[in-house]
Amino acid sequence: MYDNNVKFSLWCDFIEREFLDNEFLELLNKEIINGATSNPAIFKSAFSSSQAYKESILKSDKRHPKSIYETLATQDIKMAACKMLKNYVNDDDGFVSIEVDPNLSDDTNATIEEGVRLHASIGMPNVMIKVPATKEGFTAMSALMAKGISVNATLIFSPEQAQNCLDAFEAGAEIYKRRFPNTPLPKGVISIFVSRFDRLLDEKMAQKSLPKGQIGIMNAAKIYHIIQDRNLPNVRALFASTGVKGGELRADYYVRELMYENSINTAPLDTIKEFIKEKATPKKAPSKESIESFFEVVNNADIDMNFAYKELLNDGLKAFVVAFENIMKTLK
């Protein structure tokens, strides 16, 4: 827990074997981070650039690339989960996420089956199964939570997606509660993507004499209010895509600007290193009224948020699929 006063958590958006044995432990022990996330792009980078995996790949008796991938990925996720078990037991987050095959984002049953299988193969209570927030994904999220599996809903861009995730989490938790009334509920996080809005729309914002680096923050704040108002005890907002590309914003901008009560920020390692150089102060989210006024101005400037929501979701899904396919090529 980075800041206990407001229940703001910082998670590391990076998984790699040598890192887990060294710097990751330091960050945990210094109570800088208390969680971790992964995705196909992160594993692609790790598997292709780190010597830690080459011997395991060569020795693997698995013949199918996906089997090799799952062996390597689940080993790393289990390693991270073991190192954070103390956090989890102390109710200080301690979760690590692993994503289902992104090619399954339009297949509910296959997503559920893979989520259950991955969770069982890792065998740790503090693992979250990451599921893209598609129509099929919402049903899968609910089913996984009903089985007692914690879920990270990913690729959240629109308020509508967040509402659907909340509905799915609530329905799944209710089923679980009826079956196991005296046990803690599985946890859910709703991963709101932030910086991609600014990379997509900042040029248009500037052309209309509107502030750059703001539309992602305001959209995230809008969704944060939706999650907070729903007040589900086992669900929190998680801000993702919080790395900065280019030199116009400070490297930890999206972490500092989104230090809201009862929220999580999962950030790349370099962003975390920049963030801890200087003390940061928690912030209150902008009011609903100011957010509404902001988006009225954006709409009047002919910036179509619904188009942005769809484009960013499609781009995000495609990027994860490409990264996953590249992993398969690497492991052949």
List 44, 83, 130, 187, catalytic entry: 130
Strand spans (E) along 186-324:
188-193, 235-240, 263-267
Helix axes 195-207, 305-331, angle to 10 degrees: 140
Instruction: Provide the 10 A C-beta neighbour count for residue 51.
Output: 8
What letter does residue 276 receive in the DSSP assignment?
T
Positive or negative: CA dihedral 208, 209, 212, 214: negative
Instruction: Provide the 10 A C-beta neighbour count for residue 290.
Output: 12
Pairing mode, if any, of strands 35-36 and 263-267?
A: unpaired
Amino acid, single-letter form, for residue 18:
E
CA dist 10 → 33, 96, 305 (Å) = 5, 12, 28
CA dist 228 → 4, 166, 172, 263 (Å) = 18, 11, 18, 9
Nearest by Cα to 218 from 133, 293, 310: 293
Residue with tokens 């930890």: 252
Distance CA 226, CA 308 (A): 19
Residue with tokens 């089923």: 175
Helix (H) or strand (E) holding 127: strand 127-132
Q: Buried (b) or exposed (e) across 298-307, using 16+ Cβ within 10 A?
A: beeeebebee
Residue 86 falls in the annotated catalytic set = no
Catalytic sites, residue numbers: 130
